[in-house]
Each structure stands twice: as C-alpha cells, then as structure tokens.
Chain A
C-alpha cells in the first residue's frame, strides 16, 4: 500500500531480501517457460514498480500477482518487470531516460498491458504513455483512491486502489476492548495529514460520539511518544499516518507509527498495511498481495478482450482483519473476541509457553519412565523372537529365491545404492559392494543400458511398476538374459525404495530363438519347394535372355565378318547384350532372394511392385498352364511393412495354389484375377481369385491348419506358414469361396504411414 506522501516504507529485513531473490527467480522461470508455448498467441505484460527491486511493497504485490496467475493456470503470458527507481533518482532526466530505454527495449516485444505499481509508477506511465506503449491498456495498483482521482486518468486506465476503512478498524478495536470509552486519534501536522484526519472523522462521524475523544495531532515526534505513554489502558488508539510533525520534520510514517505504537500505554489500531507488524494490534486492511491478486484479475479480463473503459475505474482489493498475535499477548486481549474471518499473524511461542511445555514434558517423562522400563523389558524379548523369526524368514526367502535362480533386489532412491541377495550378485557377476547404478549398468549389455536406466528412473519418479528384459555379459563374453520386475515403495512424497526380483531367462530365450530358427528353416524349405515346382518355368525365364544374348552375339559376329563392318551397329548390338544380361541377372537375383536363408528383415514394401515382380517370376508358368491373368492394381496403394522375401513367398504360394486349383478347369475359364486396393488408407489388400475346383466348407475351416492339403502331392504346410508370415506383419489372410466357383484369397496388411508420406 502506498501512502499519499513521497515518504515510503523502507523495511529492510533479511526476510525481504530472501523473498525478493526467490520472486525474481520465480519470474525468471516464468519467462523461460514461455517460449515453449510461443506458437499460440503469446501476450506480454509489463509490470513497472516505482521503486527498487529491494522494496518489499512492490515485491509482495508481484508475489500476489504471480500466485494469482499460477492459480488461474495462465500459461501464455510473458511477464516482464522493471524497477523505475523513482525514489533514488527523482530527476526529470532520469524519468525521460527511463521512458526512452523502456520504449526501445519493448519495441522488440510489444506489450499488451502495462501495470504501474504505486502512484509514482502510475504518474510516470501516464506522463510517458505515448512513448512507452501508446494505446496499450494500463492497469494500475497500490495507489490511493484519492491520488488516482487527482490524476484525472482517462477512462481506459483502470486499477486497484487503496481504501482505508477506519470504521471496520474501529469495529475490531471495539470487539477486543468492549469496555473502552476513550479514543485517541494520532495525526500529523501537514495539509496531507489533515486530509487523512478529515477522512477518518468523516467515516467515524456517527460513532465517535460514544467516546471521549482525544486528538493527538500536530505534535513533534518526541511528544507523540510521550503523550501516548500517558494514555489510560482502556483507550483505543487510532493511528493515522504522520507525514510531518509539528516542527515540520518529515519521517517515513511507518517508522513513526512503530514508535508511537510501541510507546503507547493503550492498544493502537490502523487500517494501514505498512504499519502492521511493528506495534499496532491490527486493523481492517488490504495487503500488497491482495493488490497483486486484484490487479491480476483485471489484467486477465483485459487480455481476454474486455474493453478497459467498461470496467470499474477503481477497484478495491480484498480486505481482511489482520491482527498481530504478539500485540494481543502484550495487551492481554483475547483472540476469541476477534471477528470470525480474521488473519492472525506473527504467532510465536512465548517463553512461558516454552517453559510450560518443558515442565509438562519432564513430568510426563517421569510418569512414563516406569512404564517404559517395563515395556522395554517385554519388547526386548519380543524383538529377539521377532528378529529370529525375521532372520529365519529372510533366510527362507533367500534360499527359495536362490533355489529358483531368482535374485532379490532393492534400490534405495536417496542413496542410489542397490541391495542384492548374495545369489543375485553371483548371477549378475557383481563382485564389489555396494552396488551402485553405475556398477550395475557396467555389467549390463551396452545395448540394454539405456532402457534399463530409463525404466529405473521412471520408477523412481512416478513410482510405477517396472519390468523389462536385459542382457548381462560376463567375463568370458557369454551373454545371459535376465528379466527384472519391481515396484516402488512410496515414503511420504516420492518413492523411497524400489524393490523386486530378477531371474535368469537365458534358457527360455535360447529355446525361443531355437523355435524361431526352426520356423525359419521350415519357411525356407517351403520356399525352396515352391520354387522346385516352378523350376521349369524359371529355367525358361532364364533361357529367354540367354537366347537373346546368343542371337545378338551371332549377329555381331556376322556384322564383323562383313565387308564394311558398321561399328555403330555393332555397339548397339553389344548394348543389347548387356541389357539382356542384366535381365538374366535380375531373374537370378529374384531367385536368390527367395532361396536364401536369412534373418527376417522388415522393410517398407509396395505391394504393387511385389506383385509385378512375382508375376515376372511366374510368367512362363502362367503361360504354360494356359492361365489368363487379369491384374488390376490400384495406383495409390499405401505401402506396407513386412519382410519382402517372406511376403513374396506368400504371394507365390497363393498364386501357385490358385493355378493348381484350375488344372481341371476348361482352358477358356482359366482366369486368375489379381487386384490390389486400399481400404480407407488404413490397409492395403491383395485379392487373388481363381476359377478352380473351390473348397467345401469343411475344407475351408481347416485350410490354415498344418498338414492339411487338398493336393495329391501337397505337404499341407504352405498356407499355414503363409498365415503366420502375414500375422507377423500385423495383417490378415483369408480364403473365401466365390459365389460363381473357385476361391478368393485375400491378404490384408496395415498401411505403413511413413512409407505413405515418403512416396
């Protein structure tokens, strides 16, 4: 709360410095956190405090302001703050300089609202508004209502003003001192002081007659202290600020108020925040924080688009009864008499209270001693039994864990150290103790370190259940697989410990990889067997380029043997040979891909390309069997992710099956329809429809079962392997009967989003 005169409160306690630096840090974070949200329309507000960064008044206002923004969950506001230091540099030159500096500074980041804190800052802003931030809304605070009115502010400048509620302050005094019938009013000697006194009298006009009123006005500072010391105990002292004493001297009013209140022989009251905590009992007053909150509310309204000129020009912040507990004790006043919504501050235990506690404590100690002795004796016995049982239980658990080849572990979050059972350490090959996160990660396979560390830190932070597999490499380069499970045990705030087990799963892993290996072998054998069936056709495919190459070579030789060999023509023939040779290589490459036995490799695949390449491989077979192809490929087919070799195997299988099914179909009807289509861009589908002998419902039900076949020479493994391959790619393979005979095989694979954006 700013007072009417240039004289100001100048507390300088360490508490304020600490608060100030904390607040500056907090503002810093607010600024830093803002660029992240910069995509949204970011709004900027500039707070201008009239004095320096060490002034508590401004800082407390800012604290209230910031707290309110946080409470409202405001994010996209960038907050700037500048301290004008108008008190230390009172010259016009400084004001002009500062205005210029600020206008240049914020040209880069235009401000949406300017908030002058204190009357001085408000005057400054109004004086330089056109340079500083023309037409930008101004929302002020910490300025007396009368001062704000005196400035003749334009309608679009609104703000929070101080209001001094003498009436409610007197209410407080009356509640605490119901029997008081004397009233002392303290005030200074200047015109300012008289204005304050007039306000007070006007407000209390109807109530003051009850009292025997004594006006202590216009005294010297010394006289004030002496006079109040003489006051009867049942007096109510109302302290108006003293800006100037009877001798014409000026001192900051809070200092005078503190002096008077401390010297006073009767409780003093004032509705003024800066007097609070230095000797007065209390009053009905606002606070800087309340100003901060009130101004924040107005600013948010303005930022959200409200026209400032329709908002009330002067708002008052939240006022409360604020009481100094130390003063209640000094005067023997009862806290029970306080109004219900009072805020009692400065609660400190008195010496007496401390004594009482000590006495009570000692007495209780004596009383308890005998009980404790008895209990201890019993407890020692019980504890021994419990310890023995616990030890036994722990041993049992450790034995069970070791027998099951399981390690038990616990991570102490505060120290970062692990406790691991002896057997567990042996399993991991950890020799040294204590086990730290680092020494644990050192034995873990380099590829698994990161995921394990992440799982641990996630569990530490969120208290989540963790579980994961990791590998450990021992001294002889043997890799062993482990699975770890654990859960966090919370202790008040965050998780204090994470505990769990781990087990060696190397055997399971190798069994898994053996099964995988066998699956690959079988899959490979099936590919080889399909290709075996197609060998004649594939030989023909290879024969074609060889035929062409031979013919070209003979043509070239003839050309060379002629009378005038034309080199250009020969070169052309040689080019053709190269081309045909590439074609032969292509056939071999395709074959090699299908014949090779390798790890499965998932790639982005175009199903259309895969179909075209597969049909090239089958070309001669198709012609040889007199099958007519009807191929309709959707041009915008989304890509899929799968192993191209395995997927081609599926296609080969389906196509050969379809052709086999049409062996007895009339030549004219041997039509194989192959289509691709996109299903909502989510899936790519291939359908292969034949006009063969078809399947009965019973056959269809078993079609994907291993060793089920409708062919005389069939193994019955093709489709079961195909189904597995398609499933592994997240797709679906279906075989359905057609209405007009034959079956349609449809192969649906999930669209690959990345591939789609690339193509």
Chain B
C-alpha cells in the first residue's frame, strides 16, 4: 500500500479549476486523473487504483451528488471529497449523509484539502486491505472441486471421515484424499483454521443428519 502512489480522481466542469487543482495535487505528490464531466469519469474510472475522488458539486448533466450515487450503484466505495462554489448547508448535509469524506467551499483552503485527501486515501487503504484478504480467501475457495467443497462442508459440520464416506456413498480412503487436497488448497493445517476461513468466505456447514442425496 505504502509503496504505491495514491491516485486522485478529479472531476470539475471548469477547465481552469481542473487544471489548477491537477497541478497543485501533482506537486503535492499525488497521481491525478482529471475529468471535465461526470460521464467521462464514469467511463475512465479504474477502481483498482488506490486513492480518492474529488467531485465538484455543481456540474451540468450529472452533478457531484448524482455522480456519487452512480458510483455507489456500481458497488464501488471510492472515498469522495466534494468541492463547491456555493456552499449551501442543505447540499453539504446531503453530501455528508451520502458518505462524503469532506465538503469544501471554493476557493479551496490548501491545508483543508490536503488533509481531506490524506484522510480519504487512508480510508481507501484500509478498505482495500480488508478487501484484499477476502479476495485471497475467495480465490483459494474458487480452486476447490465440487466434491472437495462437499467434503469441506461435512468437515466443518464436525463429521468424522467414516461418516462422511458413508453419507457421500464412497470409501474412507477417497474421503481422506479429498480432505487432504482441500486442506492443502486452502492453506490451512487445522480444522479450527478451516472453520475460520470457511466463515470468512461465507461457506455454510451441511445441515444436521439429513439424508444426503445420492448422485
């Protein structure tokens, strides 16, 4: 995280302001992607880049608040700072409720802006870290075969190998092979560990002593 330079996505329909902020933020050590309209940003936005976004509130077509809503609809929780020429209270309240990091009135105070960006980038980093862990687990789970996943669900339900072999209509040795391979793929060495990652990945154990369908 720290090794990568944070990117600021800047959206303002005023070319003069856009250019000035771009220079200021670049000089301040950020990577800047500048957009003259909300639409252009939505097309070009790369969610994979760590960093934050600064939206001008008052823009033709999609305004800043609408843009934030559009972003959230795509289930992207990029931290956003709003800037505005006319800082009326209802708009700022609306913005903060929508989850903005800050709402700054033009002309922008340098300290306030940079502080807000710093905060936003930090938030983005944290969110991104959580997300990365999850993604790792998810990717490991994705490598399991259907049979291995079945075995896993039986294991975390606290069943013995013999029991599992019976319920899945196979022999003990086969279950042992599946179980060993599954543990290896998920990078766990104990049942306790297995239970934790399964929980993180949202994998549910098989229910009680229900008869297992034969395939």
Partner of A624 from B14, B58, B110 at Cβ < 8 Å: B58
Considering the complex, which residues of chain B in the window 146-184 have a beta carbon less than 8 Å from any beta carbon of chain A? none
Question: Contacts of B20 on A, CB cut-off 8 Å?
Answer: 547-552, 555, 576, 580
A559 within 8 A of B: yes
Judge whether B59 and A551 touch: CB under 8 Å.
no
- Could you write out 8 A-B pairs with CB less than 8 Å apart? A540-B86, A549-B107, A550-B20, A551-B17, A555-B23, A622-B60, A623-B63, A624-B58
How far apart are the CA atoms of A550 and B61 in the complex, in Å?
27
Flag A545-565 by CB within 8 Å of B: 1 or 0 each.
111111110110011000000
Flag A698-729 by CB within 8 Å of B: 1 or 0 each.
00000000000000000000000000000000
Partner of B24 from A536, A544, A555, A624 at Cβ < 8 Å: A555
Question: Contacts of B24 on A, CB cut-off 8 Å?
Answer: 551-552, 554-555, 558
Judge whether B16 and A548 touch: CB under 8 Å.
yes
How far apart are the CA atoms of A145 and B134 in the complex, in Å?
133
Question: Contacts of A552 on B, CB cut-off 8 Å?
Answer: 20, 23-24
A600 within 8 A of B: no
Judge whether B27 and A548 touch: CB under 8 Å.
no
B135 within 8 A of A: no
Closest to A551 in B: B20
By size class, the interface of chain A is: 20 to 34
Considering the complex, which residues of chain B in the window 7-23 have a beta carbon less than 8 Å from any beta carbon of chain A? 13-14, 16-17, 19-21, 23
Judge whether B27 and A559 touch: CB under 8 Å.
yes
Closest chain A CB from B203 CB (angstroms): 46
Question: Contacts of A551 on B, CB cut-off 8 Å?
Answer: 17, 20-21, 23-24, 107-108, 110
Judge whether A576 and B17 touch: CB under 8 Å.
no
B4 within 8 A of A: no
Question: Contacts of A544 on B, CB cut-off 8 Å?
Answer: 14, 16-17, 85, 106
A573 within 8 A of B: yes
How far apart are the CA atoms of A314 and B58 in the complex, in Å?
100
Judge whether B110 and A554 touch: CB under 8 Å.
yes
Closest chain A CB from B24 CB (angstroms): 4
Partner of B58 from A540, A559, A579 at Cβ < 8 Å: A540
Partner of A620 from B16, B58, B61 at Cβ < 8 Å: B58
Question: Contacts of A547 on B, CB cut-off 8 Å?
Answer: 17, 20, 85, 106-108
Partner of A573 from B16, B23, B85, B106 at Cβ < 8 Å: B23
How far apart are the CA atoms of A205 and B16 in the complex, in Å?
117
A393 within 8 A of B: no
Flag A360-402 by CB within 8 Å of B: 1 or 0 each.
0000000000000000000000000000000000000000000
A306 within 8 A of B: no
Closest to A562 in B: B27
Q: Which 3 A-B pairs have the closest CB atoms?
A: A551-B20, A548-B20, A540-B85
Considering the complex, which residues of chain A in the window 250-291 have a beta carbon less than 8 Å from any beta carbon of chain B? none
How far apart are the CA atoms of A596 and B41 in the complex, in Å?
42
Closest chain A CB from B199 CB (angstroms): 46
Question: Contacts of B23 on A, CB cut-off 8 Å?
Answer: 551-552, 555, 573, 576
Q: Given A555-B24, A555-B27, are A548 and B19 neighbors across the interface (CB < 8 Å)?
A: yes
Partner of A576 from B14, B19, B61 at Cβ < 8 Å: B19
Question: Contacts of B63 on A, CB cut-off 8 Å?
Answer: 623
Q: Given A551-B17, A552-B23, are A628 and B110 neighbors across the interface (CB < 8 Å)?
A: no
How far apart are the CA atoms of A583 and B14 in the complex, in Å?
12
A543 within 8 A of B: yes
Closest chain B CB from A416 CB (angstroms): 71
Q: Given A547-B107, A558-B27, are A620 and B85 neighbors across the interface (CB < 8 Å)?
A: yes
Closest chain B CB from A616 CB (angstroms): 12
B28 within 8 A of A: yes
- Majority secondary structure, A binding face: helix
Q: A579-B16, A580-B16 are in contact. List 7 more A-B contacts (CB 8 A).
A: A540-B85, A543-B85, A543-B107, A548-B21, A551-B21, A551-B23, A620-B85
Closest to A558 in B: B27
How far apart are the CA atoms of A64 and B28 in the complex, in Å?
103
How far apart are the CA atoms of A418 and B16 in the complex, in Å?
72
Question: Contacts of A546 on B, CB cut-off 8 Å?
Answer: 106-107
Closest chain B CB from A226 CB (angstroms): 123
Considering the complex, which residues of chain A in the window 519-558 have a beta carbon less than 8 Å from any beta carbon of chain B? 536, 539-540, 543-552, 554-555, 558
How far apart are the CA atoms of A545 and B85 in the complex, in Å?
11
How far apart are the CA atoms of A622 and B59 in the complex, in Å?
10
Closest to A555 in B: B24
Question: Contacts of B13 on A, CB cut-off 8 Å?
Answer: 623
Closest chain B CB from A163 CB (angstroms): 99
Judge whether B60 and A623 touch: CB under 8 Å.
yes
Closest chain A CB from B173 CB (angstroms): 68
How far apart are the CA atoms of A723 and B60 in the complex, in Å?
32
Question: Contacts of A576 on B, CB cut-off 8 Å?
Answer: 19-20, 23
Judge whether B58 and A545 touch: CB under 8 Å.
no
Question: Contacts of B86 on A, CB cut-off 8 Å?
Answer: 536, 539-540, 620, 624
How far apart are the CA atoms of A380 and B13 in the complex, in Å?
101
Closest chain A CB from B202 CB (angstroms): 40
Flag B89-114 by CB within 8 Å of A: 1 or 0 each.
00000000000000000111010000
Considering the complex, which residues of chain B in the window 37-92 have a beta carbon less than 8 Å from any beta carbon of chain A? 58-61, 63, 85-86
How far apart are the CA atoms of A540 and B27 in the complex, in Å?
26
Closest to A545 in B: B16
Considering the complex, which residues of chain A in the window 17-47 have a beta carbon less than 8 Å from any beta carbon of chain B? none
Question: Contacts of B106 on A, CB cut-off 8 Å?
Answer: 543-544, 546-547
Closest chain A CB from B201 CB (angstroms): 44
Closest to A540 in B: B85
How far apart are the CA atoms of A628 and B19 in the complex, in Å?
25
Judge whether B107 and A550 touch: CB under 8 Å.
yes
Question: Contacts of A549 on B, CB cut-off 8 Å?
Answer: 20, 107
Question: Contacts of A536 on B, CB cut-off 8 Å?
Answer: 86
How far apart are the CA atoms of A539 and B86 in the complex, in Å?
9
How far apart are the CA atoms of A624 and B88 in the complex, in Å?
12
How far apart are the CA atoms of A545 and B20 in the complex, in Å?
9
How far apart are the CA atoms of A669 and B13 in the complex, in Å?
21
How far apart are the CA atoms of A580 and B108 in the complex, in Å?
15
How far apart are the CA atoms of A573 and B17 in the complex, in Å?
13
Q: Which of B13, B61, B107, B108 has most A Cβ within 10 Å?
A: B107
How far apart are the CA atoms of A539 and B14 in the complex, in Å?
14
How far apart are the CA atoms of A555 and B17 in the complex, in Å?
13
Judge whether A548 and B17 touch: CB under 8 Å.
yes
Flag A628-661 by CB within 8 Å of B: 1 or 0 each.
1000000000000000000000000000000000
How far apart are the CA atoms of A688 and B19 in the complex, in Å?
33
Closest to B106 in A: A547
Closest chain A CB from B130 CB (angstroms): 33
How far apart are the CA atoms of A11 and B27 in the complex, in Å?
113
Closest to B110 in A: A554
How far apart are the CA atoms of A295 and B21 in the complex, in Å?
95
Closest to A542 in B: B85
Considering the complex, which residues of chain B in the window 122-162 have a beta carbon less than 8 Å from any beta carbon of chain A? none
How far apart are the CA atoms of A544 and B18 in the complex, in Å?
10
How far apart are the CA atoms of A424 and B155 in the complex, in Å?
127
Closest chain B CB from A178 CB (angstroms): 116
How far apart are the CA atoms of A539 and B20 in the complex, in Å?
19
Q: Given A543-B85, A558-B27, are A628 and B58 neighbors across the interface (CB < 8 Å)?
A: no
Flag A597-640 by CB within 8 Å of B: 1 or 0 each.
00000000000000000000000101110001000000000000
Q: Which of A539, A558, A573, A628 has most B Cβ within 10 Å?
A: A558
Question: Contacts of B28 on A, CB cut-off 8 Å?
Answer: 555, 558
How far apart are the CA atoms of A536 and B85 in the complex, in Å?
10
Judge whether A623 and B58 touch: CB under 8 Å.
yes
Closest chain A CB from B61 CB (angstroms): 8
Question: Contacts of B85 on A, CB cut-off 8 Å?
Answer: 539-540, 543-544, 547, 620
Question: Contacts of B19 on A, CB cut-off 8 Å?
Answer: 548, 576
Closest chain A CB from B15 CB (angstroms): 9
Closest to B109 in A: A550
Closest chain B CB from A558 CB (angstroms): 5
How far apart are the CA atoms of A555 and B25 in the complex, in Å?
8
How far apart are the CA atoms of A559 and B27 in the complex, in Å?
7
